[in-house]
Amino acid sequence: MSVPPIVAFTNVVKRYGDGPVVLDGVCFDAAPGDFISLIGPSGCGKSTILRLIAGLSPVTSGSLTIDGRTPEAAAAELAFVFQEPTLLPWLNVGHNVEVAQQLRGVPAPARAAARRRALELVRLTGRESAFPRQLSGGQKMRVSLARALTLEPKILLLDEPFGALDEMTREHLNEELLDIRQQQAWTTFFVTHSVAEAVFLSNRIFVMSANPGRIHREVQVDFPYPRTEATRRSRPYHDLVSEVSRLLRSVEST
């Protein structure tokens, strides 16, 4: 690989205090623009990987660099989307979208342009003055995504962002996420429980095993982007979903 990796895990071990080893010998390089899904049984440490990248907790041993720096130093390159939309209920959509920039210290006049762009990307232009309680689950998630996009991050961390949504909304948002990615080329780490979602979105899937958390197998997904509804109906897509599901079952049964 000629480009230097944007995220590099080398033999990373993580344990909290004297607790059990959460991650054991995790090694991988992420190239800029990679869309990596982390999938595996609960306790496999997929969320821990996100926390380490976010610099919220140090590695116990091994090394982790983000864009050639420590996670702590690279914190400004990151944005997050959680399973809950985590909107501030007392702020309207427009102000909610600006919160991430506000916390990063971007002055108010400079926030407006990024807010407008992000809302346009998630197709919520015109809903700026609505309050979160007036939105559907899918719309709230879009606002949450827009908030992360205002930062134009190099790395986007998504922790089961669409897990609480119904199937149809989830599929729509998956397609929108890929559309937006065409315009803002982040490197993505995506934690999910849905194999279909992981295959549809990613170019790399890490199937993880638990106790201790390890990357059991990496699966490459070579379908070209942009992916659409037609991708979901194709034979190779279904085959890959079955293969990853089989891998996941084998991991969960051990």
State which of residues 7, 22, 26, 100 lies at the interface with other proteins (CB under 8 A): 100
Closest to other proteins by CB, 90 or 222: 90
Under the criterion CB under 8 A, does residue 88 sit at the interface with other proteins?
yes
Which amino acid is it at 15?
A: R
Segment lying near other proteins (by CB under 8 A), choices 22-30, 102-110, 188-196, 234-242: 102-110
Under the criterion CB under 8 A, does residue 17 sit at the interface with other proteins?
no
Closest to other proteins by CB, 89 or 107: 89
C-alpha–C-alpha distance, residues 187 and 239, integer Å:
26
State which of residues 2, 18, 109, 133 lies at the interface with other proteins (CB under 8 A): 133
Shortest reach from residue 148's CB to other proteins, in Å: 10
Residue ranges in 112-131 that form contacts with other proteins under rule CB under 8 A = 131
Under the criterion CB under 8 A, does residue 73 sit at the interface with other proteins?
no
Shortest reach from residue 68's CB to other proteins, in Å: 20
State which of residues 1, 17, 18, 103 lies at the interface with other proteins (CB under 8 A): 103
Under the criterion CB under 8 A, does residue 89 sit at the interface with other proteins?
yes
Which amino acid is it at 198?
A: A
State which of residues 90, 224, 233, 235 lies at the interface with other proteins (CB under 8 A): 90
Under the criterion CB under 8 A, does residue 75 sit at the interface with other proteins?
yes
Under the criterion CB under 8 A, does residue 84 sit at the interface with other proteins?
yes
Shortest reach from residue 57's CB to other proteins, in Å: 11
Segment lying near other proteins (by CB under 8 A), choices 26-34, 79-87, 213-221, 245-253: 79-87
CB 206 within 8 A of CB 36: yes
Number of shown-chain residues binding other proteins (CB under 8 A): 19
Under the criterion CB under 8 A, does residue 80 sit at the interface with other proteins?
yes
Under the criterion CB under 8 A, does residue 54 sit at the interface with other proteins?
yes
> What is the four-CA torsion angle of 46, 101, 170, 33, rounded to 10 degrees?
-60
CB 160 within 8 A of CB 193: yes
Under the criterion CB under 8 A, does residue 56 sit at the interface with other proteins?
yes
DSSP track, the chain: --SPPSEEEEEEEEE-TTS-EEEEEEEEEE-TT-EEEEE-STTSSHHHHHHHHTTSS--SEEEEEETTB-TTTTGGGEEEE-SS----TTS-HHHHHHHHHHHTT--HHHHHHHHHHHHHHTT-TT-TT--GGGS-HHHHHHHHHHHHHTT--SEEEEESTTTTS-HHHHHHHHHHHHHHHHHS--EEEEE-S-HHHHHHH-SEEEEEETTTBEEEEEEE--PPSSP-HHHHHSHHHHHHHHHHHHHHHHHHH-
| Interaction site with other proteins (CB under 8 A) | 54, 56, 75, 80, 82, 84, 86, 88-91, 99-100, 102-104, 131-133
